[in-house]
Structure 1
Amino acid sequence: MPPMWSPPSPPPSPLQLRRPPPSPSPFPYRPRRPLRNRLSPVAASQDPLTALTRLLWGRALPPSQLVLAVRHGWTSAWGLLMRQLAPSDPATGAFTRTPSRFPTVVGTPSPRLHLYVGLPCPWAHRALLVRALLGLEHRLPLSVAFPGDDGAWSFPPDSPDALYGKRKLREVYAARRGGVEGRASGPMLWDAERREVVCNESIEIAKFLCGLADADAAGGLDLWPPELRQDIDRWYSFIYPSVNNGVYRCGFAQSQEAYDAAAGELFEALDRLEDHLSGSRYLCGDRLTLADVCLFTTLIRFDLVYSSLFRCTRRKLVEYPSLHAYTRDIYQMPKVAATCDMAAIMDGYFGALFPLNPGGIQPLVPASCDREALLEPHGREALSSAAAGSGSKQLEATSASN
């Protein structure tokens, strides 16, 4: 028999902070269980160590000797983790990126190709974006990996390795004849017929995919046109060290001097890009190219993760009117938004980069990164390519002076 009455529900809270709904994505995604949730049973049980510390010094601050000892131990452990995660120059503390093991496409791969990517990674995003823009989805099968608890690229049950059913990306690398030593990085283009790594350098994979594209499937889009390749390479040689890798040089710097140098170069480059894009719709004029793809995958993550987690704090992207509108312009192109999984990006950086964020706590998504904000009109259709030539000459002169 049902009860005659039930206790009234508590009144709703007058203010609730909610994360915005994630952007629709065609890729399966299973968010990691937050570290604080995994540790909550321990915290709630009043563990013996907490009880002992309360007994020794009550609710006061721990003794200075203990603070110094823990600080020294954490600093030593942090340095050890960072040396493996982000190798640096021992003399300066500056981040030094490990070269790709397979930097170029050698020979002619077989038609049975498979692309491995990780959604948080900006380098993998380049290959994923080119695949989408050029309509290569049916010709190039895809497997999507996510950072595991150990930081390695892994395939959870709802996002399996579609080719071999491996649990880790490094197991796919190991299937190569002779195996592979070193990091199992993404993106990675795999030749399924020869069981060989074709390439794991993002810009070279992108250029190779441009050669596979069919003009009809790509809607006439050519991201690597012969007449613009010199300009594209010139822009890329400027963007890569200062912006693409520049945010990592800020985030993984292991000395104040290394950070100051990287941050200064990053924001000087953003200022120059803002100036150029105030008069040119894209980097090489009125046409979207690989140079824009490479810049976009960093910009879409800038306010979301790099500004806070990587200490790129001088200015947010939203404070650059032309750069922010340029980012919205590309985001609103067909198929682009579907490759930008904001939830996976947040989880991949704040959840997986343990040395930079030990608690695993994710901040609120900035308002400028909401889907609604990214879909606001950008007004860049009105720009002509008249300034593109002068901008390229200015960049060439700047590079020569440096």
Structure 2
Amino acid sequence: MTSRMPRPRFAPPPFRPPVLSGRLHDARTATAVGRWLGAAFAVCFATGLVSHYLQHPPGWLADLLPSRPVWGYRLSQGLHIATGLAAIVLLLVKLWAVYPRLFVWPPVRSVRHALERLSVAVLVATAVFQVFSGLLNIAEWYPWPFSFVPVHFAVAWIAAGSILLHIAVKAPEIRAHWGRRSPGTRELPAEDVRDRRSLLLGMGAAVGVVTLTTVGQTLTPLKALDLLAPRHPDHGPQGLPVNRTAAAAGVSERGLGEWRLEVVGPRPCTLTLDALRALPQTHVRLPIACVEGWSVAADWAGIRVRELIQRAGGRPGTAALRVTSLEVSGAYRVMEMGADYAEDPLTLLALTLNGQTLSLDHGFPARIIAPNRPGVLQTKWVHRLEVL
């Protein structure tokens, strides 16, 4: 009789975190990249606040928003999108520089260490969400079930708070590695200095390429280089891009029928298109700037909104306006503008664009054009003005 040999027991190998010993995965590289990333996020946050409050002003702010300079929103939103795109490159390099710290073992060493890692997790998650959701927004692709604007705005505050907390926690380390020869730090080998300089130069070149190939959608002298932007300033009906077409808004020429403009006020009136064309026409050159970052100046002609307000009995200089579109539905179907916009002589109920009657996609028979306003508030297919 033969005895059975006991089967060997195979225990799983002990967990060993990956060894990541690259010389540039260090605090000095992270600090150098973080300076530029922090600046980009600061500009994004400030210009994002401008954009949000111009689009959705609280009641107390509505009459305080300025209509000048006429290029104000074009500049602020152009900066918002340009720095947001640059921040994608900077964030990827920053994550590359610090990712070995994600594998520290043990993952939590104390309560303080756990809180620090939690704050970093929130910072990384919100930063990644902001830049990549913003990228999908300018491409007008929304693969999520929530509304982009309020969520993007709320997460921006969380990201800003996380950045400030991170700077406060890491202040001693940041201070130690801020300069090339900061006090208390060892002299770096020449090879490390050379490699870090090459990394930062490569990062700067990547940011430059992304900027040059997208900023032309706002800075029209560079439009010939506009290769990666989702919009080109010259592409579209009547030489102007269109975000929301008439078909998407549920507006058709047949549905216009016998169109009338209804002006509601102390002395309400109704005007046909021929009657509007018979009124004195004002010609202005104004940019239209959309939240997706593209903008282009165009020649508009129509009736000053303040003249229509006065015709309906509104008091000059004090009347705000509610504008209603023929759109079937949409978050901006009804738009309000404060007295400063409504009274501005450049604010028009436009009937023509670049010397031609408005096309249906550009808002025929009438649309709003005003200085220093987001494109979503330049309401198209207007059929009702209500003096407030």
**Structure-1-length-normalised TM-score:** 0.26
If asked which structure has higher relative contact order (CA below 8 Å, sep 6+), I would say 1
**Structure-2-length-normalised TM-score:** 0.27
Question: Is the strand fraction higher in 1 or 2?
Answer: 2
